[in-house]
Amino acid sequence: MPQSTQVVVIGAGPGGYAAAFYAADLGMQVALVDPDVNPGGVCLYRGCIPSKALLHVADVLNEARHAEAWGVTFGAPKIDIEKLRAFKTKVVNQLTGGLGQLSKQRKITYIQGTAGFRDPRTLEITREGQSQPETLTFEHAIIATGSRPSTLPGVTLQSPRLMDSTSALEVPDVPGSLLVVGGGYIGLELGTVYAALGTKVTVVEMTDGLLPGADRDLVNVLARRIESMSEAVLLKTKVVAMKEAKNGIAVTFEGEGLPADAPKERTFDRVLVSVGRRPNSAVPGLDRTRVKVTARGFIEVDPARRTAEPSIYAIGDVVGEPMLAHKASHEGRVAVESIAGERVAFEPLAIPAVVFTDPELAWCGLTETDARKQKREVTVTRFPWAASGRALTLDRTDGMTKLVLDPKTERVLGVGIVGPGAGELIAEGVLAVEMGANATDVRMTIHPHPTLSETIMESAEVFFGQATHVYRPRKKA
């Protein structure tokens, strides 16, 4: 380990490794510290990537079932859980190993261990398997320590049956029944996986709807599907107690969303708690620097992602919502450019959010809900997938594409999509918002036929009352 470095990045998730790689590409001397054997962080080891591998399996299972409607019948699926896990592990190892290679090729010093601050220019790093910390002085540090799953307040139960997203991704077995606590994207994605594998899934959500924050018209499409795949979706319901029972976890519910005839206490083979994530801002020795942490535990940064301590930057989940890998990577690049002396700011117009359920739900930029909250006048155009040839060929006509537009300038302010492949489609929406594209630009861009991407073009045509596949003339003024 060197004694000093120009840049040290603490945490090698998608924010941290992107920052470290970029800094190295700009010719800086870089060290990257992380407890895992290779870069990757939660995203690659315990988040985005393994969950998507499992969701792909879920998609195939669902499609195979769906195929009955087209005259193709498969037998009941046989699931080899070891092999399934091995597939997931292979994906994770291949990606993280690849990052390890990329890190070496860039001559980055990768240190497997944990770091704390001795002072604003020195880290104490304890390598994996060592007890004595070594010191590393730096010119700039980037804190990219990410976040961890929140636990359910008031619940102290310790049980292997009680899972968080990390343990659920290990797929210990296919439980007969699973309670998903929290109707956010993590709970719904993992619920989808387990439901496809054959588990009876129940979802409990404290608020009055799934995926708080997303537009309701989009969520409704997804909610119908979630309801049909699961045993029950309990909204406005809380888990007030959990205890170990003979064959599972006995859960006590409370709330107005609970049907009157439903028992207040039910037993589940497993319980998945997915009630959000908390920032990992308790970096040891942070109090020896001027870095400030908010009441909610986020590290405070300026638009260039610099903390109150000029030598220290922070990026990703640890600096605030939305806690998304792609936001962290972008912030990482901003921080590195700032360190390189450029005048930069993290100022995206749109950060896409994708829920990889079936159907997928994705949005970016201004939502209709936010526009209403801000009392901003917008025109919302919708294109139902029932009018899309491609959606019909997939036998999936429940999707919808919508644009949130400025009525005067026609500018695209936000895009929302629900339907299979929404996560891929939303990228065009992000580009439109970032480029300041207007409805004419979008409608005049030729989209390939027959694809789902045409729904974006046709949503723009709806603005003019001239969508080819929908007859909805514009109201006369």
Partner 1 sequence: MPTDFTLPELGENVTAGDVVRVLVNPGDSVAKDQPVLELETDKATIEVPSSVAGTVKDVRVKQGERIKVGQVVLTVDDGGTAVPPKGGAAKAAADEGAKPKPQPAGAATEGGLSQKAPGQGEAAASSGGAKRAKEDAGQGLADQPEAQQAESVAESKPRRGEVVDISRGARATPAPAASAETVDQGPAAPAAPSVRRLARELGVDIRRVPGSGPGGRISNEDVQAFVRGALAGGGAPATIPPGSLPDFTKWGEVERKPMSNIRRKTAEHLSSAWNQIPHVTQHDKADITSVEELRKKYASQAEKAGGKLTMTAIALKIAATALQRFPQFNASADVARNEIIYRKYVHVGVAADTPRGLLVPVIRDVDRKGIIELAVELANVSEKARAGKLSLDEMQGGGFTITNLGGIGGTSFTPIVNWPDVAILGISRAAFEPVYDGKSFQPRLMLPLSLSYDHRVIDGADGARFLRWIADAFEQPFVLSL
| Measured distance CA(172)–CA(174) in Å, rounded | 7
Residues 323-342 that bind partner 1 (CB under 8 A): 327, 341-342
408 binds partner 1 (CB under 8 A): yes
Q: Which of 59, 398, 406, 424 binds partner 1 (CB under 8 A)?
A: 406
351 binds partner 1 (CB under 8 A): yes
Nearer Cβ to partner 1 (249/315)? 315
Residue 409 CB, shortest distance to partner 1, in Å, is 3
Q: Which of 411, 447, 465, 469 binds partner 1 (CB under 8 A)?
A: 411
Residue 442 CB, shortest distance to partner 1, in Å, is 12
Q: Which of 147, 438, 453, 459 binds partner 1 (CB under 8 A)?
A: 438
Nearer Cβ to partner 1 (295/477)? 295
Nearer Cβ to partner 1 (211/293)? 293
Nearer Cβ to partner 1 (265/342)? 342
Residue 1 CB, shortest distance to partner 1, in Å, is 22
Residue pair 18/332 in contact by the 8 Å Cβ criterion: yes
Q: Sketch the per residue contact string, 283 through 322, with partner 1: x for CB under 8 A, - otherwise.
A: ---------x-xxx-x-xxxx--xxx-xx-------xxxx
Q: Which of 83, 107, 246, 343 binds partner 1 (CB under 8 A)?
A: 343
Nearer Cβ to partner 1 (290/472)? 290
344 binds partner 1 (CB under 8 A): yes
Residue 27 CB, shortest distance to partner 1, in Å, is 16
Other Cβ atoms closer than 10 A to 94: 11
376 binds partner 1 (CB under 8 A): yes
Residues 119-178 that bind partner 1 (CB under 8 A): 139
Only one of the segments 16-24, 152-160, 387-395, 438-446 lies at the binding site for partner 1 (rule: CB under 8 A); that segment is 438-446
Q: Which amino acid is at 386?
A: A
The 3-class SS string of the chain reads: CCCEEEEEEECCCHHHHHHHHHHHHCCCCEEEEECCCCCCHHHHHHCHHHHHHHHHHHHHHHHHHHHHHHCCCCCCCCCCHHHHHHHHHHHHHHHHHHHHHHHHHCCCEEEEEEEEEEECCEEEEEECCCCCCEEEEEEEEEECCCEEECCCCCCCCCCCCEECHHHHCCCCCCCCEEEEECCCHHHHHHHHHHHHHCCEEEEECCCCCCCCCCCHHHHHHHHHHHHHHCCEEECCCEEEEEEEECCEEEEEEECCCCCCCCCCEEEECEEEECCCEEECCCCCCHHHCCCCECCCCCECCCCCCECCCCCEEECHHHHCCCCCHHHHHHHHHHHHHHHCCCCCCCCCCCCCEEECCCCEEEEEECCHHHHHHCCCCCEEEEEEHHHCHHHHHCCCCCCEEEEEECCCCCEEEEEEEEECCHHHHHHHHHHHHHHCCEHHHHHHCCCCCCCCCHHHHHHHHHHCCCCCCCCCCCCCC
Which of the residues are catalytic? 449
Residue 147 CB, shortest distance to partner 1, in Å, is 13
* Site size for partner 1 (CB under 8 A): 45
Residue 304 CB, shortest distance to partner 1, in Å, is 9
Residue pair 182/273 in contact by the 8 Å Cβ criterion: yes
Nearer Cβ to partner 1 (203/350)? 350
Nearer Cβ to partner 1 (109/438)? 438
374 binds partner 1 (CB under 8 A): yes
Residues that bind partner 1 (CB under 8 A): 139, 292, 294-296, 298, 300-303, 306-308, 310-311, 319-322, 327, 341-349, 351, 366, 370, 374, 376, 406, 408-411, 434-436, 438, 440-441
